[in-house]
Structure 1
């Protein structure tokens, strides 16, 4: 692991690291914000943030304006890239497939399977690095994300509740098996068996696994230009069916971008701080 950059930020540090990833079969970058308490060696809770299509490990750090409150709440923020990168990595022919569009799953189909193992990278490899290299309270790790990353946050939390104690999302792709983004990604990465797709679909997973969290928080803009791809109503129906408490907050006038995220990111940090017993 190599630190490529660090910047002072609200008396903490925003850092960018690079590691040689076995899961992704190549070099991968990730961001870490360390609050002042962590710089002093004090143990802190950690939040993994999974970004959306076309984003990188820096997008959230630059655009979300989350560090101020994270510094106050003693939260370490971890921001992986959204896909493998490199000369040998399959590129795809559009912005919603391939680079910047890993969908946080383990691809099984050629040519994607050689590098696109994002689920394993986040849940096993990067998770272990964060626990080993930073002052993290081992049982106080949460996950949240946006759009494709909201899909990733919901599905990884539902599949690995022993690793993630809290979960929230901004405008997540709630039922990727039933929207063009998900159908395109899943058919390429996983093949055409829709039964396999449901293993990576938050709406299907919550129906299978039942209520796992004391609460899930989702914020959704009602002027979201991609609303037809997101299907929050289907996820809400599934949560109601199994008794999973969901706070689905719908906001008039807000779209899909980072101005929307900036507006509500403090609420998400506070939500996780409560769930992770920081306040």
Structure 2
């Protein structure tokens, strides 16, 4: 999928997740909006996947360590055909598979996540297994920036370079906000890039809401043989909805009817701009 089509797809996914959260009356809106471009680049351009065969042995693995921002992932998996799109209407309802965190009873989900700090360690294990089994698949792990305060993240960060896991890509959704405010006020992280580099990772810093830049960073990995890659994706929390951007309250705010209508109007205008370019149907 070309860049303009990817941008249009990201706008559509944002519309879908807002409708889903509004209908369910619950969800993590801000982080799902910020990570949408990351997931769109991975699922529609970079990763080797087969929705008709979710357990295909050669598939790339994706672990959503920041599992609370699952809404964008549910919408993408449904759009790709891992499960019927109508099932999005059951999100967070009694008896649904589509709960508020990734659930491995759903095709396309590798593991249950959401207890922060666990995803990278399991990703290290998956990447090490691929190396030892002579498999060519890659492992991508999306973490939150607030999650960097978890000690288990740094244990895994030591293990990745130790085992020379250049088939592993860690991604940090660096939107600088968490549930209780600024990451730097809650638990200062900087200099974050230098810390990951000191642990032995090849660090690439990009605009995490620039799909073209994301694709380039992912497709260049491993830029340094024998080193895992850490993509520092500098994002805007609430991206795509003007009145939600960089507003801590939108971490898990559910849009009301008026907010939903306004947000959808903004995103529809974005989609129309791509159609006018003649590159998106």
Do they superpose with TM above 0.5?
no
Say which structure is richer in strand.
1
Which one scores higher on RCO, CA 8 angstroms, separation ≥ 6?
2
TM-score (norm 1): 0.34
TM-score (norm 2): 0.33
